[in-house]
């Protein structure tokens, strides 16, 4: 006879299907191959991994749908049987990892490419729609970004609640005829898609009326969230000219209907100076000043800066994209900044790739700033070492949907200097003069003068004595650990699931025993 507790718990717990084109890792209990599944292009992979892990740990009936990136998933030696990896085929029947199968995924070395993203998207969604949703029969579907933009329309047709998360304001457009040519029966749910022009009928719209994938996801989902509350409001208010009108309008409709919110991302758990294997000297909040001092000398030597453990370092970790990241703001003031703070040997460390890299190199060469300014290509090791060695992290972004460096830096006792926008507004508070509150320095007006003002504020903090700085940096590090973590992010998503479903998504055996006994 079966145990009634387990029967009831299976019937009671709602099934959550998380659909994501990226993942960093999965809980070991979800199958033999779980820890070998990693396909990452950005923060979406980390958020998906942390959410699935938290749901799994809480006993939720979580399922994951993702493309079968064979080459990326299985870089180790695994026996292949009949075209499928033996370990995957054994794990799938009783586990909760569901791989979308199509040759277009199998041999890819990275998640996205310039020329076939729409084909990847349609192949992925075909498998989710035609096979994985019918197999799982979920009670709620959580979709992520434009690559999953058709699925909320299918969920609407099937009566399944759907959460749609926007990580990046990027979309692709296609037609229903192209969708159907890829094996998806768009006629079943076309009324829930978002078209470039108002459709009169299926036949009229099929061949020539473009379907916006991101707008469709927003339009059809029951609830939409961005990866920061402030960025959501900025988009709705029309403060960013790069946001398509359709996206702005549909997000506004959702927000004013009470069906949109912001949930912050969080850095990967490996960003911890006490355990980080990439940095020269591990340290914690208890020995932050001495720990950073040792790391600084190592970092300076490694990237070609003058070795001076007393010199303050401004660190640039973000890609050198002048359209978003504000590189030109630093370029405009770089020479004068170095000259004005020559008394303390101020240094700038740029560990990043991007279009603006050559401009910084030209400035260094033209003005002979070698030893004071270093520009080196991005590497994971040097980027991690930069957080551990530097005093301030610069993020003067024009816009920022969420951002992670400003959340990583305080974990390493590194204060962020940011433009007051989007996720930067939500995560960085300006430092009080007495150091009792705040975790960085925020400037309001997007200009080189604004950035210079914030840097001046930061240098004012740096001029304090070691005892004062140790007290403040220890507070900042401890607060960052409590605030910026995957558990907090996952808890916010779980709360949203429960609000949408009207019941808990996790399973507590103790609670179930009480419930059964009462019955």
Q: pLDDT-based confidence at 78, cuts 50/70/90?
A: very low
How big, in percent rounded to 5, are the helix, strand and coil portions of the chain?
A: 50, 15, 40
At 144-157, the pLDDT tens digits run: 999 999 999 999 99
The Cα–Cα gap between 279 and 404 comes to 19
State the average pLDDT over residues 225-232: 95
pLDDT of residue 111: 62
| Percentage of the residues of the chain whose pLDDT score is greater than 90 | 71
Q: What is the CA radius of gyration of the chain?
A: 25
Averaged pLDDT score across all residues of the chain = 87
At 379-413, the pLDDT tens digits run: 999 999 999 999 999 999 999 999 999 999 999 99
Residue 80 pairs in a beta bridge with 85
**pLDDT surpasses 60 at 31:** no
Cα→Cα distances 130→99, 104, 135, 158, 214, Å: 13, 17, 9, 13, 20
**pLDDT surpasses 80 at 226:** yes
State the average pLDDT over residues 139-166: 96
| Range with the poorest average pLDDT among 29-38, 246-255, 368-377 | 29-38
State the average pLDDT over residues 123-140: 96
Nearest Cα to 186, choosing from 215, 210, 160, 162? 210
The Cα–Cα gap between 84 and 86 comes to 6
Bigger pLDDT: 205 vs 34 = 205
Query: How many other C-beta atoms are found inside a 10 Å radius of the C-beta of residue 80?
Result: 12
Nearest Cα to 350, choosing from 395, 310, 311? 395
| Range with the poorest average pLDDT among 34-48, 276-290, 418-432 | 34-48
| Percentage of the residues of the chain whose pLDDT score is greater than 70 | 85
Q: pLDDT-based confidence at 13, cuts 50/70/90?
A: confident
The Cα–Cα gap between 141 and 354 comes to 36
**pLDDT surpasses 60 at 24:** no
The Cα–Cα gap between 493 and 508 comes to 18
| Helix H or strand E encompassing 443 | strand 440-443
**pLDDT surpasses 90 at 7:** no
At 193-216, the pLDDT tens digits run: 999 999 999 999 999 999 999 999
The Cα–Cα gap between 43 and 24 comes to 9
Q: pLDDT-based confidence at 27, cuts 50/70/90?
A: low
pLDDT of residue 429: 98
Residue 39 pairs in a beta bridge with 23
pLDDT of residue 46: 67
Bigger pLDDT: 510 vs 209 = 209
State the average pLDDT over residues 247-256: 96
Half-sphere exposure at residue 405, Cβ-oriented, CA atoms within 13 angstroms: 26
| Range with the poorest average pLDDT among 26-35, 98-107, 137-146, 179-188 | 26-35
Bigger pLDDT: 99 vs 137 = 137
Cα→Cα distances 390→131, 317, 418, 437, Å: 50, 11, 15, 21
**pLDDT surpasses 50 at 34:** no
State the average pLDDT over residues 447-454: 98
The Cα–Cα gap between 281 and 298 comes to 9
pLDDT of residue 507: 59
């Amino acid at each position: 006879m079966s145990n009634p507790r387990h029967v009831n718990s299976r019937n009671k717990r709602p099934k959550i299907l998380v659909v994501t084109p990226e993942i960093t890792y999965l809980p070991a209990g979800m199958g033999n191959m779980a820890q070998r599944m990693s396909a990452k292009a950005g923060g979406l992979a980390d958020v998906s991994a942390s959410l699935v892990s938290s749901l799994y740990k809480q006993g939720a009936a979580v399922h994951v749908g993702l493309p079968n990136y064979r080459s990326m998933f299985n870089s180790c030696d695994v026996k292949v049987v009949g075209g499928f990896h033996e370990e995957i085929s054994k794990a799938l029947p009783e586990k909760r990892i569901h791989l979308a199968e199509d040759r277009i995924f199998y041999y890819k070395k990275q998640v996205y490419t310039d020329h076939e993203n729409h084909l990847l998207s349609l192949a992925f969604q075909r498998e989710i729609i035609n096979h994985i949703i019918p197999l799982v029969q979920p009670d709620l579907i959580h979709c992520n970004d434009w690559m999953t933009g058709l699925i909320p329309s299918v969920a609407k047709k099937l009566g399944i609640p759907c959460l749609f998360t926007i990580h990046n304001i990027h979309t692709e457009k296609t037609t229903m005829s192209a969708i159907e040519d890829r094996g998806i029966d768009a006629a079943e749910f076309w009324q829930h898609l978002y078209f470039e022009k108002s459709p009169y009928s299926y036949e009229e719209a099929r061949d020539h009326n473009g379907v916006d994938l991101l707008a469709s996801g927003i339009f059809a989902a029951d609830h939409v969230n961005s990866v920061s509350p402030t960025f959501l409001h900025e988009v709705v208010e029309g403060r960013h000219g790069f946001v398509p009108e359709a996206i702005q309008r549909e997000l506004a409709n959702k927000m004013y209907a009470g069906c949109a919110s912001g949930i912050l991302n969080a850095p990967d758990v490996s960003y911890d100076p006490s355990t980080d294997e990439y940095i020269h000297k591990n340290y914690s909040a208890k020995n932050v000043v001495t720990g950073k001092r040792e790391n600084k000398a190592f970092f300076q030597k490694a990237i070609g800066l003058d070795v001076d453990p007393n010199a303050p370092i401004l660190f640039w970790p973000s890609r050198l994209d002048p359209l978003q990241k504000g590189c030109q703001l630093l370029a405009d003031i770089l020479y004068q900044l170095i000259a004005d703070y020559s008394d303390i040997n101020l240094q700038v460390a740029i560990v990043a790739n991007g279009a603006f890299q050559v401009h910084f190199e030209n400035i260094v060469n033209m003005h002979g700033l070698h030893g004071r300014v270093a520009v080196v290509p991005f590497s994971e090791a040097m980027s991690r070492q930069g957080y551990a060695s530097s005093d301030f992290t610069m993020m003067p972004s024009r816009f920022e949907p969420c951002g992670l460096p400003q959340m990583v830096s305080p974990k390493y006792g590194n204060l962020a200097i940011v433009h007051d926008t989007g996720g930067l507004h939500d995560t960085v508070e300006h430092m009080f003069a007495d150091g009792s509150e705040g975790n960085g320095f925020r400037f309001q007006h997007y200009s080189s003068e604004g950035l210079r003002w914030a840097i001046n504020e930061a240098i004012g903090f740096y001029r304090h004595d070691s005892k004062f700085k140790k007290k403040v940096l220890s507070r900042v590090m401890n607060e960052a650990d409590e605030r910026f973590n995957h558990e907090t992010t996952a808890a916010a998503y779980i709360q949203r699931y429960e609000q949408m479903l009207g019941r808990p998504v996790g399973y507590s055996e103790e609670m179930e025993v009480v419930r059964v006994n009462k019955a």
